[in-house]
A and B are shown apart, each in its own frame.
Chain A
Amino acid sequence: MRQASKIAKRLAEAALLILAVIVFNFMLVHLAPGDVVDALSSGAFGDASEEVNARLREQLKLDEPVLVQLCAYIGNVLQGDFGYSPVAKAPVMDLILPRVAPTLLLAISSLAFAVVLGVAIGTYAARRPESGFSHSLTVFSLIGFAMPVFWTGLLLLIVFGVWLQWLPISGMVNLRLPRDATLIERALDVGHHLILPTVSLGVIFLASFSRLARASMLEVLQSDYVRTARAKGLPERTVLYKHALRNGLIPIVTILGMEFGVLLSGAILVETVFAWPGLGRLAFTSVLTRDTSVLLAILTLVSVTVILANALTDIVYRLIDPRLRVPEAT
């Protein structure tokens, strides 16, 4: 019961937080000078007449007070309606839904790449802390963490896309792929395109996870229970992977949830550089085109995702470490 009430309280806090995020983002976006109608009538979209601008503003209810617009917006969002995009001439969800999967694919791939490789590298370095490999890891971590993701992306593009021509420059699929390509061919094609964006986005996390894994495993490997396990004659592999790693992963899991928000913000840059058709790229173009409906929807969805990711982290954390589980009342 206590567990259930704690979860319910956590969910209620999350809901309030999401509402606050919606209100904050809405006000921020609408307080900026200019609106989507201004964007539609400027530059490459095409110059618009006064009559058309006035008509559009009325249709989009942009001529109403901001607070009235906000209340209407919240009411619609609670019903799952994120509005209409006058830029794309389509409901907002029609634009967002097809892009969720590409972004999730990129995010999960990058995280998996960073976690798996980071933990492996960190664990290896922890076993030989004074080796050249371990010191190299320190340098690599510093460089990897300092490099902006878009710069990493461009460098990878130049080396692997232009000089070596091993990997594609942009997009998620080969634009010349025949229409009758099989599912396997399409999957391999997507995988081929996924490599560079994944590495670009993942490098920064690889750097921090490997460093963190090294430090965490170093500490764990000094523990009494690890010494006991070795004294009992257990194989080193069992000591490492069955006993030490589980505790060594705890800081990684903690950081994982917190880094998810950073990951999504990095995805905006990576998706733009690689023309990856995900939410990040849509967010970028929505900023440029003042497509506030789309932008707000993405911000809301990302906020929900980050909040849920943190909640999930908390749960997983408790599963890994039984000391954190709340005992039943007796």
Chain B
Amino acid sequence: MKTRTALATLVGLALAQGATAQDDPKLRADNVPPEDRRGGTLVAGQHITVTHPIGTVASGMRNIAGAQLNAGLIRLNDDYEPTPYLATSWEFSDDGRAFSFELHPEARFHDGEDITCTDVAFSVKTSQENHPFKTMFTPVTDVTGGDSKSCTMMLDSEHPALLTALSPGLLPIIPEHVFNDGQDMQSHPRLTADVVGSGPFKLVEWDGNDLIRFERNDDFFIEGLPYLDEIVIDIVADPSTLALGLESGQYDMASLWSGDDIVAAEANPNLKVIDKGFEAIGSIPFIQMNLRHPNLEDVRVRQALAYGYDFDQYNSLVYAGQHRRQCGGIQSQSPFYNPDAECYEHDIEKARALLSDAGYEEGDLTIEVSTYPGQLQTAAEVLKQQWSKIGVNVDIDMHPDEVTMLSEMTAEDSDYQIGLVGLWNWGDPVIGVHRSYNCDNRKVGVAFSNMSWYCNEEVDALLAEAGAELDTEKRKALYFQATDLINEDVPVIYASNEVWYTRMQQDVQNPPDGVWGWMDSWAETWIDR
């Protein structure tokens, strides 16, 4: 409730008054290290390789490294409220079509060049031309201010998702004087070599398959930050090695996405495990259904499958009970999530009745699943067993990896039936939720588009209206209506709300546990050692 109430005032405040400069923009000002505890090296283990750290041109886990290297205009606090970062103050015009902000007077890139409106304009333009999330900055027509620190972003329509999109993970501010040389941004050599950033840490060593090393930026524009001298991110594909590395003390922190390792870590007195963080990512495993397939075009069949799904058993067997229930496409900790949304509670009789009404004869459905990560195989087996109780036999089609599976699911005239995939909300429904349901986002060959090939004009209209509505309460009401309609149509069964845990040594202070989790600045993290 606190989160939603706070966010309910977010846009209103920003519109009416604009944020004012704060003397101390730290988000963890209540836990500052003493002088003799500052410095040191934090070693973190993660299991996902990254191609480059520049989140302006692509999304994904690169933002973990990217948020250390580059700053954004704002940061979101634990209540999803924007707080000053590169932008010290801002305000919207009365009609919501102009967003004016002041850049920090001391903000400079790692090569000493001032960060100006030119760099912000270039970053936005680069994002518009390269980033897959087109909805983030489509309404932005211009950023004025030139080489000054007083900028204005011009919009051709109201855009309530704008502030979220200005987070470091979604719009890191990159140097125009480095990248604006005519080379293609997707293959620019400065993405990984001689990298110049705007954030609390400088890149010392880059190998996206192996190891990323940062050192503190002594000229960072926030006084006293960062606390650490060095961050090392060790990329290790094997989760067992990560777990053992943490237990042995080799790592201070390790990424973890639920399961038996969580249970083991929680039992270790030398470690602490937190389930806070990454809420804005909003990872939701989908049981995605292809509405083009004759077996699934009848909504009663899809509803029956939803009733046949037993979350408690699924969560227990697949995720060692570590996930949360999810009853809509907007993740359950978002302020736009409807807590009263109807969930399909497990009911075998109701499922059978619906199948009978639909004239569904006992037949086979096929689930597409990737062998990596391994828990998806277990998930498919559990679904097979659950749906057999309602009279639906399931074949499992195993793919060697997610790429192969998604290629098949998004092929032209794909006849896949059900696929196990995961989608992320990315902070605001406009950015990461609309894409799964918009009629015009049914795209061949594009992963994480509307892969159910779902189309409901009423839902489209509601989403479009919500995407442009500045009044938060009205916006919530629109998303609630859309969620209800989508839930009735069931193009997707929401398997769970995936909790991303962080395990760490007991002496790690201020771990990156904000709404963006590791994809936010670690400038305030320190080690009490």
A-B contact count (CB 8 A): 159
- Residues of A contacting B49 in the complex (Cβ-Cβ under 8 angstroms): 87, 285, 288-289
- Residues of B contacting A213 in the complex (Cβ-Cβ under 8 angstroms): none
Which of B52, B234, B407 lies at the interface centre, i.e. has the most chain A CB atoms within 10 A of its CB? B407
Q: Is B23 an interface residue (CB 8 A)?
A: no
Establish whether residues A89 and B189, one from each chain, have CB atoms under 8 Å apart when the complex forms: yes
Q: Is B445 an interface residue (CB 8 A)?
A: yes
Establish whether residues A46 and B244, one from each chain, have CB atoms under 8 Å apart when the complex forms: no
A285 to B48, CA, bound (A): 10
- Give B contacts to A, CB under 8 Å: 41, 43, 48-52, 58-62, 130-134, 184, 186-189, 191-193, 207-211, 232, 234-238, 240-241, 244-245, 247-250, 372, 401-404, 406-408, 422, 443, 445-448
How many Å from the CB of B415 to the closest CB on chain A? 15
Q: Name the CB-closest residue of A to B245.
A: A169
- Residues of A contacting B448 in the complex (Cβ-Cβ under 8 angstroms): 42, 47
How many Å from the CB of B276 to the closest CB on chain A? 21
Establish whether residues B134 and A49, one from each chain, have CB atoms under 8 Å apart when the complex forms: yes
- Give A contacts to B, CB under 8 Å: 32-34, 38-50, 52-53, 55-56, 59, 84, 86-90, 95, 154, 157-158, 161-162, 165, 168-171, 175-176, 272-275, 277, 281-282, 284-285, 288-290
Establish whether residues B447 and A42, one from each chain, have CB atoms under 8 Å apart when the complex forms: yes
Q: Name the CB-closest residue of A to B444.
A: A50
A284 to B49, CA, bound (A): 11
Establish whether residues B61 and A169, one from each chain, have CB atoms under 8 Å apart when the complex forms: no
Query: 18 more A-B contacts (CB under 8 A) besides A46-B132, A176-B41, A275-B210?
Result: A33-B404, A38-B403, A38-B406, A42-B447, A45-B50, A50-B445, A52-B186, A59-B187, A88-B208, A89-B192, A162-B244, A162-B247, A169-B244, A169-B248, A170-B244, A175-B41, A272-B238, A284-B237
- Residues of A contacting B188 in the complex (Cβ-Cβ under 8 angstroms): 89
A144 to B131, CA, bound (A): 51
- Residues of B contacting A273 in the complex (Cβ-Cβ under 8 angstroms): 238, 240-241
- Residues of A contacting B406 in the complex (Cβ-Cβ under 8 angstroms): 34, 38, 42
A253 to B479, CA, bound (A): 72
A88 to B87, CA, bound (A): 32
How many Å from the CB of A156 to the closest CB on chain B? 11
Q: Name the CB-closest residue of B to A85.
A: B51
Establish whether residues B445 and A53, one from each chain, have CB atoms under 8 Å apart when the complex forms: yes
Q: Given A168-B250, A272-B237, A277-B211, answer yes or no on A46-B60 (Cβ-Cβ < 8 Å).
A: yes
Establish whether residues A39 and B244, one from each chain, have CB atoms under 8 Å apart when the complex forms: no
Establish whether residues A48 and B132, one from each chain, have CB atoms under 8 Å apart when the complex forms: yes
Q: Name the CB-closest residue of A to B215.
A: A179
Q: Given A33-B407, A175-B232, A281-B209, answer yes or no on A41-B51 (Cβ-Cβ < 8 Å).
A: no
27 A-B pairs with C-beta separation under 8 A: A40-B58, A41-B132, A42-B402, A42-B448, A43-B402, A47-B59, A48-B58, A48-B447, A59-B184, A89-B51, A158-B244, A161-B244, A165-B248, A165-B249, A169-B250, A171-B234, A171-B250, A175-B43, A175-B234, A272-B238, A275-B238, A277-B210, A277-B211, A281-B209, A282-B209, A285-B49, A285-B237
